[in-house]
Structure 1
């Protein structure tokens, strides 16, 4: 097995969404608190037996896309309802934060879709959850995308120290593996 082949962890694959009509003015936004993401492109095929052998034909790509998340009050969670109720077309990115190219861009799929179903579970002893299913238009495109700073912050917050921030956005130093065992005495 090749040593440079790495596994992909589902916890590092995220769905970002934006209304298509907002493409010139807004960034794609992470759907907060995702618990699962299912991406299933497929192609039906048919075969016909001929005197010379089997001839196969392939249909167009059909893509199933769904996401589950803890229900929340984010604008992007509301935009999913807008897509379902008003037919707003969405741009969707499935971003793998474990796979980067030399330019620092992340491997991703780009899709255009509308929400076809939005199931909401509201058990009294648990958090409200939603499962959203998308109707994908056309064939997903593969590529590489940069993640804006706001997207990185949505994925993971940065370490901060105890002092008042003032003009700084940190004031502490994030842990690094080289810090293991450090314990300097005064």
Structure 2
């Protein structure tokens, strides 16, 4: 019996970026509040008809990468402007959060380039949005990467208890629900009391 083919959802495909000059001092950062990500590697082809049949030619690989997001005040959104205005190289990772290898690493594309266009829309009755286009150098590379622990927290907050949150206890004495918790628990009312 053939295994079931899994579908990848757009919601689980995310872009992370970092100015190349900061590779030794910071990790790649999630572009906050992404609404759309378009990753389009392409190669133009042409054919010439000859008396012996058609002969095809191909051009160099080009990669279109575009990310739309709700405009925000963050280091990442400022770094995107820095790449555009100062012509600074930027690293980009397109990460598929639902595709993992046996080591628990995520499937991803890695690219380098610059921000070549940053369109900002500011309608009076809506959130400010940005549409950023990257010009990618060479061929994108695919592989597997490890997301830092705080990556999940960037996407959705995690369960916390009501205790004090500190450097030594980030959960406030809470424990997140796990599948093994199904059917676990007891009536909180002590026996023999109403």
What is the TM-score of this pair, normalised by structure 2? 0.90
* 1:46, distance to aligned residue in structure 2 (A): 1.0
Partner of 1:175: 177
Higher strand content, 1 or 2: 1
In structure 2, runs of 5+ residues without a counterpart are 189-194
Displacement of 1:181 after TM fit?
4.8
Partner of 1:59: 59
Alignment of 1:102-181 (within 5 A): 102-166=102-166, 167-170=168-171, 171-181=173-183
For residues 30 and 50 of structure 1, the distance between their equivalents in structure 2, rounded to whole angstroms, comes to 51
What residue number does 2:46 align with?
Answer: 46
Give the superposed CA RMSD.
Answer: 1.6
In the TM superposition, residue 139 of structure 1 has moved relative to its aligned partner by 1.0
Unpaired runs of at least 5, structure 1: none
Question: How far off is 1:150 after superposition?
Answer: 3.1
Alpha-carbon shift at residue 39 of structure 1 (Å): 0.5
Shift of 1:109: 0.4
Deviations 1:32-57 (A, max 9, x none): 01011000111111111222211111
Distance 2:58 2:93 in 1: 26
SS at match of 2:151: helix
Match of 2:34 in 1: 34
* Structure 1 length-normalised TM: 0.93
How far did residue 182 of structure 1 move? 4.6
Q: SS state of the match for residue 59, structure 2? A: strand
User: Over residues 12-49 of structure 1, what are the superposed CA-to-partner deviations in whole Å (9 max), with x where a residue is unaligned?
Assistant: 01000000111122101000010110001111111112
Q: Return the alpha-carbon distance in structure 1 between the equivalents of residues 22 and 163 of structure 2.
A: 38
